[in-house]
Amino acid sequence: MSYILDPAWADERDRLESLSAFYDQGTTEICDRLGLGAGWRCLDVGAGTGSIVRMLAERVGPEGEVLAVDADTRFLEPLAGGPLTVRAMDVTAEPLPEGRFDFVHARLILEHLHRPADVVRSMAAAAKPGGWVVVEDLDWSTVLTIDPPSEAHERVVAACHKLYAGSAYDAWYGRKVPRQLREAGLTDIGIQAVAMPAQADTERGQPDWEMWIGQLAPRMLAQGLLTQADLDAFNRQWHDGETVGFGPLMVSAWGRRPA
Ligand SMILES: C[S@@+](CC[C@H](N)C(=O)[O-])C[C@H]1O[C@@H](n2cnc3c(N)ncnc32)[C@H](O)[C@@H]1O
């Protein structure tokens, strides 16, 4: 398993919950659009802190089934029960259960994997005929959209890309998702995309950027990709009370296994 983020990082739960707080609404809207409801069998791949599987378990009710898989199930175990089952699994090493689910979902995991297309195929095989596969991942195309222009922000983003180059993380994965769904044999492809707005706050800074960079900064400094002065300038910028920018574009795409 490869993962640029350190799962043992003390603030990992906060980081994941902050992602959920913003992105859950879009995922819920996709569930509405696909008609997800009572009795559906669902699978969430890389379920994290479980915000999506909790929503799914409520929707499918006692007649349905929700399987949450993750390599690290520490946040999921306490949620198990009723329709919700938790399974520890490295999805790059084991196949998912085949032909079983009405809805198979993965968010913010495939962009971290060396061969995401293999997992997309495994997800397509996990859907039953007529079942839906939904993949949601980031594309860093929007991160330099910032006002006023900021060299500090540009330097930090450039350091991120250099760090990613030595890892499995694909900062341009979002745009590839619809193609990978088609290549896995799925039809009726749909796409939506949204970028998280970021506003500098004099008290709080920009917590989403700071949590991400906070986790990568020690490696960026150690590898000489960034100086402490760059980091300080980045932090000042996001505390100036004026700067507005955007996080990466979240690309959500779905497709159906042919009946
Ligand atoms: C950024 S989190 C996203 C969590 C959740 N899907 C969400 O969007 O809120 C990525 C999750 O994928 C899990 N993960 C990473 N690599 C994995 C692998 N090879 N097999 C299973 N889970 C993995 C991590 O443990 C983590 O919980």
The protein residue with its alpha carbon nearest to ligand 1, atom 8, reads 107
Q: Which helix (H) or strand (E) holds 254?
A: strand 244-256
Q: Which segments in the chain show pLDDT lower than 70?
A: 1-11
Which DSSP category does 205 fall into? Answer: B
How many whole angstroms from 98 Cα to the centroid of ligand 1?
20
Which domains are delineated in the chain?
12-256 (3.40.50.150)
pLDDT at site 1: 46
The protein residue with its alpha carbon nearest to ligand 1, atom 1, reads 108
Ligand 1 within 6 A of CB of 116 = no
Best residue for ligand 1 mutational test, from 16, 86, 109 (most atoms within 8 Å of Cβ): 109
How many whole angstroms from 117 Cα to the centroid of ligand 1?
16
Q: What is the DSSP string of 102-158?
A: EEEEEESSGGGSS-HHHHHHHHHHHEEEEEEEEEEEEEGGGTT-EES--HHHHHHHH
pTM: 0.94
pLDDT at site 192: 97
CA distances to 125, 138, 168, 197, 226 from 171, in Å: 26, 7, 10, 18, 19
